[in-house]
Amino acid sequence: MNTIQYLEDQAARAERLAKRITDTLTIEKLLTFAGERRREIEVITGKYRRA
Protein backbone atom coordinates (compact mmCIF):
# COMPACT_ATOMS: atom_id res chain seq x y z
CA MET A 1 0.00 0.00 0.00
CA ASN A 2 1.50 3.32 -1.01
CA THR A 3 1.23 6.58 0.92
CA ILE A 4 -1.75 7.94 -1.00
CA GLN A 5 -3.70 4.71 -0.60
CA TYR A 6 -2.90 4.69 3.12
CA LEU A 7 -4.07 8.29 3.56
CA GLU A 8 -7.25 7.61 1.55
CA ASP A 9 -7.95 4.56 3.71
CA GLN A 10 -7.44 6.52 6.93
CA ALA A 11 -9.73 9.33 5.75
CA ALA A 12 -12.45 6.91 4.66
CA ARG A 13 -12.29 5.00 7.95
CA ALA A 14 -12.61 8.19 9.96
CA GLU A 15 -15.58 9.32 7.86
CA ARG A 16 -17.33 5.97 8.22
CA LEU A 17 -16.79 5.98 11.97
CA ALA A 18 -18.09 9.54 12.25
CA LYS A 19 -21.36 8.41 10.64
CA ARG A 20 -21.84 5.64 13.22
CA ILE A 21 -21.42 7.58 16.44
CA THR A 22 -23.41 10.30 18.17
CA ASP A 23 -20.78 12.17 20.18
CA THR A 24 -20.49 15.57 18.52
CA LEU A 25 -16.95 16.32 19.68
CA THR A 26 -15.66 12.97 18.45
CA ILE A 27 -17.44 13.40 15.11
CA GLU A 28 -15.80 16.81 14.66
CA LYS A 29 -12.36 15.41 15.48
CA LEU A 30 -12.78 12.49 13.10
CA LEU A 31 -13.93 14.73 10.26
CA THR A 32 -11.07 17.13 10.94
CA PHE A 33 -8.65 14.19 10.82
CA ALA A 34 -10.19 13.00 7.54
CA GLY A 35 -9.90 16.49 6.05
CA GLU A 36 -6.25 16.71 7.04
CA ARG A 37 -5.52 13.36 5.36
CA ARG A 38 -7.30 14.51 2.18
CA ARG A 39 -5.27 17.75 2.18
CA GLU A 40 -2.08 15.69 2.51
CA ILE A 41 -3.16 13.72 -0.56
CA GLU A 42 -3.69 16.98 -2.46
CA VAL A 43 -0.22 18.19 -1.52
CA ILE A 44 1.39 14.91 -2.54
CA THR A 45 -0.42 14.77 -5.87
CA GLY A 46 0.26 18.42 -6.64
CA LYS A 47 -3.38 19.49 -6.55
CA TYR A 48 -2.81 21.94 -3.72
CA ARG A 49 -2.91 25.56 -4.85
CA ARG A 50 -2.37 28.54 -2.61
CA ALA A 51 -4.85 31.34 -3.04
| Stretch 4-21: mean pLDDT | 97
Q: Assess whether pLDDT exceeds 90 at residue 50.
A: no
Confidence category of residue 49, pLDDT binned at 50, 70, 90: low
The percent of residues in the chain predicted with pLDDT above 70, rounded, is 92
Confidence category of residue 4, pLDDT binned at 50, 70, 90: very high
- How far, in Å, are 19, 27, 33, 50 from residue 4 at the CA level? 23, 23, 15, 21
- When divided into structural domains, the chain yields a total of 1
Range of the domain at 12: 1-47
